[in-house]
Amino acid sequence: MSETLSPIDTAKFVAAKQAVGFVEDGMKLGLGTGSTAAWMVRCLAERIREEGLNIVGVPTSTRTAELARSLGIKVISLDEAKWLDMTIDGADEFDDELNLIKGGGGALLQEKIVATASDQMVVISDASKSVETLGAFPLPVEVIPFGWQTSKALLEEALNSMDVLGQSATLRMNGEAPYVTDEGNHILDLHLQRIGNARQLALVLNQVPGLVENGLFIDICDKVVIGHGDGRVEVRDIITGENTEGMVEFADTDNIFADL
């Protein structure tokens, strides 16, 4: 399989495979959303199939739920699980303190609820998502459809007093229509360029009427697994302060990865 993957897909695959290695029998897992998380779900299904692990997953979107079920992973709701041992998810950006921007896949609300209901959050990523300062990736915020233009105006006004370079917000579209989240809401993408104080910004954004949640994940991620195109993986642990590096072995696999 390694010969058919692009460097970026190789990086995502090895990060996912390394992270799934942290999973233990009997765990209740939060299953993230996005292209990197899709690799993780498939790697998890492979471990379940080959090792007979007794694992249940709580998906963060309908598409992750559909993928997990199609691969034989038992899926339950967060209300059924109540609390999770671990969540594995991707990120759009992360800094040295493992603060994140998430929501590029449109599932930030469920992702944040699931991640905060977990003993630990492990982020899987390629090296391009590592940044010195958050903000180059547009920051998603989820807003209810009612009065969204008012919410947008209030958001842009609030940004005037924040330590950011850009202050514009755009409604995310799905073709000719506004993008709709699993909860029936819309997403505004904030084009900030640089976020000087992510913690302060997260608090201010959530005071805007109509805003449901923002894509800043502060003090939630415990560990990030960074994949590289040559098969190397780095693991940064914010709890222990340890940084480790290794290689993930490639092997030809069944059609579990055939459509990626």
Round to whole Å and give the CA distance between 234 and 241: 13
User: Confidence band (pLDDT; 50, 70, 90) for 249?
Assistant: confident
pLDDT tens-place string over residues 180-219: 999 999 999 999 999 999 999 999 999 999 999 999 999 9
Percent of the chain with pLDDT over 90: 93
Percent of the chain with pLDDT over 70: 95
Structure tokens at 94: 């992360």
Q: What would you measure as the largest C-alpha separation in the chain, in angstroms? A: 54
CATH number of 139-212: 3.30.70.260
**DSSP label at 250?**
P
pLDDT of residue 254: 44
- Long-range contact list for 63-68, CB < 8 A, 24+ apart? 63/33, 64/31, 64/32, 64/33, 64/37, 64/38, 64/107, 65/31, 67/38, 67/41, 67/42, 68/31, 68/41
- Residues carrying CATH 3.40.50.1360, the chain: 2-128+219-249
- Residues carrying CATH 3.30.70.260, the chain: 139-212
Do 159 and 167 form a contact (C-beta atoms < 8 A)?
yes
Which fold does the domain 2-128+219-249 belong to in CATH? Rossmann fold (3.40.50)
Residues involved in catalysis = 111
121 forms bridges with which residues in the sheet?
87
Pairing, β 121-126 against β 223-227: parallel
Check whether 103 has a pLDDT greater than 80. Answer: yes
What is the pTM for the complete model shown? 0.94
